[in-house]
Amino acid sequence: MAERIVTVERKTGETEISLTLNLDGTGKCGVSCPIGFLGHMLASFCKHGLFDLSGSLAGDLEVDQHHLVEDTGITLGQAFDRALGNRAGIRRAGFFIYPMDETLARAAVDFGGRPFLASELALSGVPLVAGGDPSLGKPVASFQTDTVDDFWQGFATGAKCNLHLDVLRGRSDHHKIEAIFKAAARALREAVSVDGRAKGAIPSTKGILDA
């Protein structure tokens, strides 16, 4: 099987992103990310999907986090799309339910070429806040939870996949978001895996998978 490793760059007036993705990695994440919680989610995503991801993220955080989080999702999705090529030999679809303490999250994906996101995450919309001490040069960090949908919408668009994400139950927004990233990673890991029985065939009765 040919190496499924790609580098995708995205540069706009709002963001500058470079990501290198190996679909057949070991779960290593080496992304320079200025948003601590997003970096944590990417690390969890790589660990559970066994994807290797490296690169850097930069954006207009003086405006807010929306542009950088959404564009990261778009760029990561494009990396999946390019690494998969014509989708020959892959399982194409994947599904996973992930429990995390009081939270239960579900993800289902189909790399069928038609971008669509259905997302019911039951988030409060209140930013997650991490401790800090501005007097010591350690500012209080935060994450805008309303950007999670933007990330996955960008991903589905870039990857040209159907993606369904649901939080079935939960209390903590941190747990809900992290469980979704882990469930999605596991579902994607299944979908992009090579099916030996397929013998390199494109997994569609049409004989082609495109948008």
pLDDT digits (tens, 9 = 90+) for 93-109: 999 999 999 999 999 99
> Residue range 118-135: average pLDDT?
87
| Number of domains observed in the structure of the chain | 1
Backbone angles phi, psi at 175, to 5 degrees: -65, -40
DSSP reduced 3-state for 194 = strand
Q: Tell me, yes or no, whether 207 lies in a domain.
A: no
Residue ranges making up the domain that contains 182: 5-198
* 8, containing H or E segment: strand 5-11
135 pLDDT tier (thresholds 50, 70, 90): low
Task: Give me the CATH number covering residue 142.
Answer: 3.30.230.40
Q: What DSSP state is assigned to residue 193?
A: S
CA pair distance 87, 85, nearest whole angstrom: 5
At 139 the pLDDT is 64
Q: Tell me, yes or no, whether 210 lies in a domain.
A: no
At 180 the pLDDT is 98
Q: Tell me, yes or no, whether 206 lies in a domain.
A: no
Here the tokens at position 187 are: 């579902």
Name the nearest CA neighbour of 75 among 16, 147, 148.
16
> Comparing 1 with 5, which gets the higher pLDDT?
5
Q: Tell me, yes or no, whether 203 lies in a domain.
A: no
Q: Tell me, yes or no, whether 154 lies in a domain.
A: yes
- Is the confidence at residue 138, as pLDDT, over 70? no
